[in-house]
Amino acid sequence: MFCRVNTDKLIAVIDDEPDFLLTISSILKRKGFRVITGAAESAVKSILEKCPDLILLDINLPGKSGLEICRQVKSGNSTKDIPIVIVSGNADIRYVYEGCNADNYLQKPFGVPQLINVISKLFKGNRGPKNAG
């Protein structure tokens, strides 16, 4: 799979909570980003084919876990440089994030300023630790 360069930033949000997907998608669109969302393993494949500029990825997903998806993205030649932000309510999120080579993490619940701060830093090339608040 080869990614083309986008002029508008495309953010993929992968989570199994419909309310979270709707809320985050709405916030990001208001901030001027293009957004694609999904939860099931088939949706993840479709999302990766669109070559997003950044991925917000939950860990607890039906089917393939977020950890597996993160490792898959980070091991692909054309996807390894896509920044991934792990989002989870898991208290051990830092260890999960380190275990899949993600670029940053946000522990749920988090605020809009924290979300935008992490995304902005990653688009400027500043990779983690990571939990910028």
Q: What is the pLDDT of residues 98-116, one digit of tens each?
A: 888 999 999 999 999 999 9
pLDDT at 129: 52
* CATH classification number, 10-123, choose in 3.40.190.10, 3.40.50.920, 3.40.50.2300, 1.10.3720.10: 3.40.50.2300
Q: Model's pTM, two decimal places?
A: 0.88
Q: Which helix (H) or strand (E) holds 125?
A: none
Residue corresponding to tokens 């830092």: 94
Residue 5 DSSP one-character state: P
Cα–Cα distance, 74 to 64 (Å, whole number): 15
Which residue has better confidence, 7 or 123? 123
Please state the φ and ψ torsions of residue 75, each to the nearest 5 degrees: -100, -10
100: helix, strand or coil:
coil
The ranges assigned to domains in the chain are 10-123
pLDDT band, residue 26 (cuts 50/70/90): very high
Q: Range with the lowest mean pLDDT among 27-31, 76-80, 81-85?
A: 76-80
Number of H helices, E strands in the chain: 5, 5
Is the per-residue pLDDT at 6 higher than 60? no
Crossing angle (nearest 10°) for helices 18-30 and 112-123: 60
Neighbours of 54 (CB within 10 A): 22
- E-only strand ranges, the chain: 10-14, 34-38, 54-58, 84-88, 104-107
